[in-house]
Amino acid sequence: MSRAAQVLVIGVGNRMRSDDAAGLEVIDRLRALPREQLGPAVRLCEHEGEGLGLLAIWESTAAVVLVDAIEGASQPGSLVRIDASTEPVPASARSGSSTHAVGVVEAIELARALGRLPARVVLCGVVGARFEAGERLSAHVRGAIPALTEMVLAEVSGLGGGVPPGAGGQA
């Protein structure tokens, strides 16, 4: 299978900034699943660096699912799904991480402007409560991680990369 036919799931975040580690936690959970549950077309990746690095990571990939903690007006722990394939990402979906000059939203919009955005880009996010230094997720975000993981599995399945959540793969 060509790399372009694959679905790339990128967990974005920083394990040392509380809820900002949510995307990385989802990748950890996906890696723990039986490979057949994800399907052979799915690649998993963690990204703790500058948002601009995403452009190189998703190069030649047709479908990307980004998983990140975001700041928002919604209740902490709320899930957010944004299809960035067809329209700009709203400013309200900014990443909770402020340690980088270019975050996920800025990277998506820069890639769009440069013609380097994959054909399908979906952002699956959870509204964070805390983004300060610390290695623990808030109770709100920790409680939302299973549902966020299921949301990502559903996206992967919808993009042709895996089996539907709850369909096979687990006895």
Q: What is the pLDDT of residue 6?
A: 87
Q: What is the pLDDT of residue 135?
A: 84
Q: Where are the chain's structural domains?
A: 3-158
Q: 13: closest CA among 145, 113, 115, 110?
A: 145
The structure tokens listed for 54 are 């995403």
Q: What is the pLDDT of residue 5?
A: 54
Contact 72, 168 (CB under 8 A): no
The CATH number of domain 3-158, selected from 3.40.50.1450, 3.30.950.10, 2.30.30.100, 3.30.70.260: 3.40.50.1450
Q: What is the pLDDT of residue 134?
A: 84
Q: What is the pLDDT of residue 137?
A: 95
Contact 4, 61 (CB under 8 A): yes
The structure tokens listed for 124 are 């699956």
Task: Tell me the pLDDT of the chain (171 aa) as tens digits.
Answer: 444 458 999 999 999 999 999 999 999 999 999 988 888 889 999 999 888 999 999 999 999 999 999 987 789 999 999 999 988 988 767 665 545 567 899 999 999 999 999 999 999 999 999 998 988 999 999 999 999 999 999 999 988 766 555 544 333
Q: Give the bridge partners for 43, in sequence order.
A: 8
